[in-house]
Chain A
Amino acid sequence: MTVASETTSVLVAIINFGIGNFGSVSNMVRRVGGTPSEVTWPSELKDAQAIILPGVGSFDAGVGTMREHGLERPLSDRILMAGVPVLGICLGMQIMAERSEEGALPGLGWLPGSVIRFRTNQDGETIRVPHIGWNAVTKQQPSPLLEGIEDGSEFYFVHSYHLDNADTSALVGVTSYGLDFPSVIQKGRIFGTQFHPEKSQIWGEKLFRNFLAVAQHA
C-alpha cells in the first residue's frame, strides 16, 4: 500500500451520526494517507483539517443527532468561517442542503437546493426506488475533487432521494437514473457526492486523494 507523502498529515474528522459507515470511510481515509478521527462531540473537532459527513441513515436522524450533540454551530464556524474543507457523502451531502422531503427538520443550508425523492422518469413513468448500483458521472465543470478522474467514470450509488434545484454554478457532476440529478457538488470548499466514493474502487480512492489534497493546500 502506497502512502501519498503530501497528504500524510491531514487529520480528517468523520462525523458520527449514531449510525453509519464510519468503518469504510475511515479505512479509505487511511488508505490515501490521512488520519481519520471519529467525532461525536464538539470538543473532538478542534484539530480537524478536513471534515467528512458520511452517509447512512435518514435525514432527520442525521441532522437531529448533529444538533443534539451541539455540532451544528462549531461545524459551520469551521467550514463557513475558517474554510476547513468538508465532503458530504450521500446523506451527508443531502443534510447540507436547505431541506428534504425525507424529513421535517431543516437542513444545514450550506448548499443551495432541496432534496426530493425519486418518483418518475423524464417520461412520467414510475422508476424503481432506491436507486442502487454503479452509474456514470458526467462532468459539468472542472473541480479539484474530480481532478484526474475520467469523464463518465462509474461510482456506486445507493439512495432514494437526490438533490434538486442545485445552483448551476455549484454543479460539478450529474448522473442519470430515469432523470438527470446532481451527483457531485462544490461550493467553495464545500464538496458533496451523491455516490459512495468509499465504495467506488479506484476512482473513489482517487476522489479521496483529491479531497485530502484540497485540505493540504489550505
Chain B
Amino acid sequence: MAGGRLVKTRQFSSPHYIGDPVNTIHIFNTLRAEEIFLLDIRATVEGRDPDYGLLAQQARFVSVPFGYGGGIRTLDQVRRVLAAGCEKVVVNSAATDPAFVTAAARLTGSQAIVVSVDVRRDPDGMARPYVRSGSHALNESATTFARRMVDAGAGELLLHSIDRDGSMQGYDVPLVQEVATAVSVPVIAVGGARTRDDLAAVIKQGGAQAAAAGALFFYQKATNRNVLVNYPELHIRRSLMR
C-alpha cells in the first residue's frame, strides 16, 4: 500500500495501482486466503503512523489472520495495531535496534512479532539485508541479520527478495534455503512467484514454512498484467503440496 492505495511494486519501486485496499482485502477474505499481510511501503519513509482506522475497518470482516507492517517504531504503535484487530505486526526499519524487537515480543508474545528481512543480492551474489523500503543496506549478511532478529525475539520472518519482487521469475530458492536452515522460527518466503507450482516449490525445496505472493494473486498472468485478484482454492493448495 502507498498513499492509501493498494499497489504492486517491482524491486520495491514502480508502484502499479491495484485497487482499494479494503475492497481487495475483502476479496481475499472471501476467497479464504490463509493469511493476509498489508504493508504500507511509504509509512516509514514519510514518518507516518499506521492508518488505525483502516486496520479497524478490515478487522470488522476479515476472518483469517491479518498482519500489518509499515512505519512501526514504538511499542505504543504495536499495541494499537493489535488492538485494531491485527494478529501480527511486521517490523523492518525499527529492527535495526534489536532491543525494540525484544521489547515488542515481551509485550505481545513473539508469535505476534514478524521481522521483514528484505534482501537484495550484491553484485558478487552475497544476500544483503535492507531497511527503509529497500533503500538502506545493512553491513552484514541476510542470514546473520535473520539470526540476530530471532535471538532478539522475532517469532517469524518475512523473507522478502527485493530482486525478485514483482518480477514473476520464481522465488530465490537458494536464499530461502540458506535463511530457513539458519533459524528456528517459521519463514514466510515472498518475492518472485510466477506460478502456483512456485508456491509449493519454495516450501518443499526451499524449506520455507509458508509462501506469500503479491503479483501472482493480483494479476491475470505474468505476460498479461491485468488486475484479476485470485487465490487457489483449498483442494488446489492441497494437491500442490502433495
Q: Which residues of A contact B (CB under 8 A)?
A: 19-24, 27-28, 31, 56-58, 91, 126, 128-130, 132-134, 156, 158-160, 196, 198-201, 204-205
The answer on a CB contact under 8 Å between A132 and B156 is yes
A27–B63 alpha-carbon span in the complex (Å): 9
Within 8 Å by CB of B65, from A20, A57, A156, lies A156
Identify 6 new A-B residue pairs, CB closer than 8 A, beyond the known A129-B184, A156-B64: A19-B79, A19-B82, A19-B107, A23-B84, A57-B109, A204-B63
Closest B residue to A22 by beta carbon equals B83
Given A126-B184, A158-B65, are A21 and B82 also a contact pair (CB < 8 Å)? yes
**How far is B185's CA from A96's CA once the two chains are assembled, in angstroms?**
27
| Chain A residues whose CB sits within 8 angstroms of the CB of B66 once the complex forms | 199
8 A Cβ contacts from B61-107 to A: 61-66, 79, 82-85, 87, 106-107
Q: Would you give the shortest CB distance from A97 to chain B, in whole angstroms?
A: 17
Within 8 Å of chain A (Cβ to Cβ): is B111? yes
**Residue B2 is within 8 A (CB to CB) of chain A in the complex:** no
Partner of B155, one of A20, A130, A201: A130
B157 CB to nearest chain A CB (Å): 11
> Interface size class for chain B?
20 to 34
Is A56 a contact of B112 with CB atoms below 8 Å?
A: yes
Question: Which one of A24, A58, A91 lies within 8 Å of B87 (CB-CB)?
Answer: A24
Q: Which 9 A-B pairs have the closest CB atoms?
A: A23-B85, A130-B111, A23-B59, A158-B111, A199-B65, A132-B186, A130-B155, A24-B85, A201-B63
**Residue B242 lies at the interface, judged by CB distance under 8 Å to chain A:** no
Question: How many Å lie between the Cα of A177 and that of B214 in the bound state?
Answer: 28
Cβ distance B232 to chain A, nearest Cβ, rounded Å:
14
Known interface pairs A19-B79, A27-B60. Does A130 touch B110 (Cβ–Cβ under 8 Å)? yes
**A56-B109, A91-B109 are contacts. A23–B83 as well, Cβ < 8 Å?**
yes
Pair B32/A201 contact, Cβ less than 8 Å: yes
Contact A130 B107 (CB under 8 A): no
Interface check B227, CB cutoff 8 A: no
A19, B209: Cβ atoms closer than 8 Å: no
Chain A residues within 8 Å of B155, by CB: 130, 132, 160
Question: Which of A19, A91, A134, A198 makes the CB contact (< 8 A) with B63?
Answer: A198
Q: Is the CB–CB distance between A129 and B63 below 8 Å? A: no
Across the interface, which residues of B come within 8 angstroms of A23, CB to CB? 56, 59, 83-85
Within the complex, the shortest CB–CB distance from B38 to chain A, in Å, comes to 15
Q: Which residues of B contact A91 (CB under 8 A)?
A: 109
CB atoms of B209 and A27 under 8 A apart: no
The smallest C-beta distance from A1 to any residue of chain B, in angstroms, reads 9
Let me know if A133 and B186 touch, CB within 8 A.
yes
Selected from B32, B34, B85, B186, the residue in CB contact (under 8 A) with A130 is B186
Nearest CB to that of A154 among chain B residues? B234
A175 to B108, CA, bound (A): 24
Check B87 against A196 for contact (C-beta < 8 Å).
Answer: yes
Judging by beta carbons under 8 Å apart, are B106 and A133 in contact?
no
B222 on the A face (CB < 8 A): no
Judging by beta carbons under 8 Å apart, are A21 and B111 in contact? no
Contacts of A58 in B (CB 8 A): 106, 109
The answer to whether B111 touches A20 (Cβ under 8 A) is no
Say which residue of B61, B65, B106 sits within 8 Å of A196 (CB atoms): B65
- What are 30 A-to-B residue pairs whose CB atoms are below 8 Å? A19-B79, A19-B83, A21-B82, A21-B87, A27-B59, A31-B63, A56-B108, A56-B109, A56-B112, A57-B109, A58-B106, A128-B184, A128-B209, A130-B155, A132-B210, A133-B209, A134-B34, A156-B64, A158-B87, A158-B111, A158-B112, A160-B109, A196-B65, A198-B63, A199-B63, A199-B87, A200-B64, A201-B32, A201-B64, A204-B63
